[in-house]
Amino acid sequence: MEKKRDFKKETFNWFKSLFWAFIIALFIRTFFVGNFKIPTTSMVPTLKVGDRLLSNNIIYKIREPKRGEVVIFKPPHDPKRDFVKRLIAVGGEKVLIKEGKIYINGEPINDPKISCRYYYSIGTYGVENEIEVPENLYYVLGDNSINSSDSRDWGFVPKKNLIGKALFIYWPPWRMGFIK
């Protein structure tokens, strides 16, 4: 009889621990960490189709986004989807894409994460004519600019649409690592 009672108590404690672990994991997943799958080639070579990544969803509540970071957001033209792009310019800066290079306030970008790529002059916003990014808005581009729907086409991303910063590729295992 004693063994039966100990087994029931142990089983109850095990389920109680499992329940609290689930609640804590759900809380962390909801407020702190995001999980995303890359569906297109718009961020190649940084991110490839099928990559699964984790994001920091509270960082932009603590500080402002920085140029060069890979951000996850809801695009203004389709707020039901999540997009992943590289942040190029913030509010108050002037952007120009010309002859494959990105210029911010008239100066070419020298950040190796950005300047090592050729950016195609396709689209309306900031292509061949300089455009100023309004305050609390951001200009984003895909690393694979020939195959990317980004700020060149649909304009700026509002601050309220930012979800988080892409941090880590966890799948497939051979691509595992931090996102640069």
Q: Which residues contact 62 (CB under 8 A, 6 or more apart)?
A: none
Do the beta carbons of residue 89 and residue 130 sit within 8 Å? no
**Quick one: which of 121, 144, 122 has its CA closest to 42?**
144
Catalytic residue positions?
Answer: 42, 85
Q: What amino acid is encoded at 58 in this protein? A: I
Do the beta carbons of residue 150 and residue 141 sit within 8 Å? yes
